[in-house]
Structure 1
Amino acid sequence: MGHGHAVQDELREPARALRRAIPEVYDGYRRLHAAAYAAGALDRKTKELIALAIAVSRECDGCIASHARGAARAGATESEVAEALGVAIAMNGGPGTVYGPRAFAAFLEFAEEADPEQG
């Protein structure tokens, strides 16, 4: 199991417990998320690439795992992810060179799962 799956597994039960404690907050977040990621002027893949770059900027491993998986599921290519992460590195300097590779590894992990022929 790669880092992306490990992060998601680690957060699964604590997130469920918190969601049970504050369901209204999570419902509001779910609706915001659905509205923000709905296809419009930008397609879902582009939005996932933006989110992945922001996740690197925020140094959030859980966000990286989620949006690496989302990008893979939305059909992002390895080259598209690499370029988006290049922008994140340019905007973040040194920390981008730590979290960018984490994001790339997570994407590759989820992309292989989405398309076993790639791996």
Structure 2
Amino acid sequence: MFESFFSLDGAAYAPGALPVSVKELLGLVVSVMKDCEECVYHHLERCDEERVARDQVLEALQIALVGGGSVTIPLLRRAVSHMEKLPNLGDGRA
């Protein structure tokens, strides 16, 4: 059963009509709205690996805030803090 899920996950994030970077941003937004902190960190790290621009990630997080409401703010704060630890998404002040 787990193998089926993990193969679905891998297929969903594989290159296709949408670039992998866009898929990771979508995964990030869904993860915030589902309140999955571990998932948020995973997608931030994947965005970093895919060289997604910092401003694109921040805009995606804004969409998560609009969709998820104020209850997402604590997780969004932790997400931005986590971004500072990543080589490509940090703003250089960490």
Judge same fold: TM > 0.5, yes or no: yes
Q: What's the TM-score once normalised by structure 1's chain length?
A: 0.68
Listed one character per residue, the Cα deviations across residues 77-112 of structure 1 (whole Å, up to 9, x for unaligned) are 110110000000011111122212222222332x32
Deviations 1:21-76 (A, max 9, x none): xxxx3322221111100111111111111111111101111111111111111111
- Hey, which bits of structure 1, 4+ residues long, moved more than 4 A? none
Q: Normalising by structure 2, what TM-score?
A: 0.84
* 1:62 aligned partner: 38
Identical residues among aligned pairs (%): 26
Match of 1:86 among 50, 59, 62: 62
Is the deviation greater in 84-93 or in 26-35? 26-35
User: What is the root-mean-square deviation in Å for CA atoms of aligned residues?
Assistant: 2.0
Q: Choose which of 49, 55, 69 in structure 1 pairs with 2:25.
A: 49
Aligned residues: 92
